[in-house]
Chains A and B, each alone.
Chain A
Amino acid sequence: MTGATLARGTQPRGRARDARNWLRDNPIIPLILLFGLLLVLLNLVNPALPNQGWIANSLLRFAIPLAILAACQTLTMLTGGIDLSVGAVASMAGYVMATQAPIHGPWIAIGLALGAAALVGVVNGVGIGIFRVHPLIMTLAMILVVGGLATVYFITVVATGVRVPAEMVWLAQGTSFGFVPNSLLLFVPLATVIILGLRRTGYGRLLYAIGDNEVAARLSGVRVWQVLIVLYVLSALMAGVAGMLFAGVLNTASTQLANGYLLPSVAAAVIGGTSIFGGRGGYAGTIVGALILGVLTTLLTIGMPALGLAGVNQEAVRQILYGAIILGVAAAYTRLTESS
């Protein structure tokens, strides 16, 4: 037994307890096993899969923007919060980019989209950090405001038309050397910064500290409200990036394009072992979580007709499945943390 487990209290069943603690601190290993298992299952359902084309064109193309959206959830959940406005912000950013690009060119359009996203993040952060509104309720309310503003904007720019810049399509859809998706150029540095930032920087540790015990963090001199405002601005910016990637992937933009990715983003972070109650988790698990969801989607698409469920609404099954996963994992984590 390590000092850390001893400090958590008396341990009735030593070995089982050790295994559970180890599992809780290293959720990435069972996750990778699960991912492998799903790939084997996919192979059984369709022997042609997984192949190179499927990985580059189907799995990664959607899993990368999803993993970026899930980064928003990971970071906010570490502090005990959540950002439900990411879907709306992502849609808005993609739409702003696609409507401004024909007028101002791609780079200014991307800047405008990120600026609008950051503004939403500031409002979220002020509500949560200063007025202490529950993050769930604050970001939920912002969905309505952002959605409404996006619709107003839609009416004013309806004449300019929607055109996703070729640069964004290249980044989101294209491949280099025949099989390496270009979006990895953006994602690998971003993921590295997030993973290292959470582990090595003071700001990253502050997120864990706030999620673990906000009062203790405040009493140790942390300006919690400043950390939270920065956090929700970062979250909105990443949501904006993900939204523009989604627009590039689908080569179109609408005011509701990415709204449906909110639930998968929460599910990816929860599956990845980030506690929805804060203080525990990391981004590596979330990435595997997003990949698992990607394989699950393919499995549902292929497997449901095979099981004679072709007529059943797939979106409905997916929603129910994701909801059940979130609930099941949250319940499991509650058990793990309560008993220690």
Chain B
Amino acid sequence: MTGEEAALFDDAIQSDAYLDRLLGASVPTAIDDLPPGLEPIADAAANLRSYLVRFHPSFRFEERLAARLRAAAQGHAPGDLIEFPGTVGDVEQVERRLRGRLVGGAIASGVSIASLAGAAVVAWRRFRSDRRWERLA
């Protein structure tokens, strides 16, 4: 290892230790605990910490994929009818968990709940309509 590589490796170790402190802190860490010359690294890291925020997928997407995984786990083909997941209590719990986060796409979680309720009504009506056809037959 050349002297230049060794210096880079050493700087990288110090940057990594600084990132551990920065990402573990509830407020941005002061940069005076970094050796001189690494201040630009600290500024860049602070910017990345502030603006690389976490997003959350939409509730509707999360539940739809859960249903697909459930179907796959049960050995069903895509499009098969799967038992409707969860209860109203579960939905409220997930809603509370999602509050305060950015939700993916244009679908707000409130709309997702409305969609979920709509899907349940459609399924119920379809079920009732099928039963009526059975009686007629």
A and B pair up = no
